[in-house]
Amino acid sequence: MAKKPSKPGSNTIAKNRTARFEFAINDEYEAGIELQGWEVKAIRQGKVNISESYVFLRGGEAFISGVQIMPLQAASTHVVADPTRVRKLLLNRRELEQLAAGVDREGQTIVALTMYWKASWVKVKIGTARGKKLHDKRADAKERDWQRDKARIMKGSLR
C-alpha cells in the first residue's frame, strides 16, 4: 500500500523569491546536493537561506555557492562548520551538457529556485535564466496587481 503524501507544499525547505522577479526562467532542472551530516540536521531545523546563491559550472560539474546553512549550537566540536562552503550539485551528464550549452551559447545564467525534500533526499530546483529589463519587471508587477484586484472584485461580487 502506497504511503499517503503529507499536505502539499510541506516539503519545501527554502525559496529564492527574488529569482523569478529578477530573471526570466527558461528551463528547470532538479539536482541533488552533496551535504555533510551537520548540514542535513541544520536543514531539518530550517536554518538555510538560498536567496544569495548562484550556480556555476567547472570541469564538467555543477557547483552551488552562496547557500547559507547555519550550524546548530549542538553541533559536534570536532566538525569544522563552514556555512557558505561551495557544494557540488548532482546532475546527469545530459543535464550538465544542456546547462553548459545554455550558459555558453545563449548567455544565460543558472539560478537556484527552491530547495525541498524528496523522500529523504534534499533536492535543489535550478533554472537557466536571462536577466529581466526594468520594463519587464514593471509589467510583471502590473500583472500581479491586476490579478490581486480582480480576485478582490470577484470576492466582493459573490457576496
Instruction: Look at residue 75 in the predicted model and tell me its pLDDT.
Output: 61
Instruction: Look at residue 72 in the predicted model and tell me its pLDDT.
Output: 81
Instruction: Look at residue 159 in the predicted model and tell me its pLDDT.
Output: 64
Q: Answer whether residue 52 shows pLDDT above 60.
A: yes
Mind listing the pLDDT tens digit for each residue in 101-137?
A: 888 877 788 889 999 999 889 999 998 888 777 777 7
Mind listing the pLDDT tens digit for each residue in 3-34?
A: 444 455 578 888 888 888 778 888 889 999 99
Extents of the domains making up the chain? 12-132
Q: Answer whether residue 74 shows pLDDT above 60.
A: yes
Provide the sign of the torsion angle of the four alpha carbons 76, 82, 88, 90, taken in this order. Answer: positive
Percentage of residues in the chain having pLDDT higher than 70: 90
Main-chain phi, psi angles of 136, to 5 degrees: -65, -40
What dotted CATH number matches 12-132? Answer: 2.40.280.10
Of 75 and 83, more confident: 83
Of 75 and 70, more confident: 70
pTM score: 0.74
Mind listing the pLDDT tens digit for each residue in 77-96?
A: 667 777 888 999 999 999 99
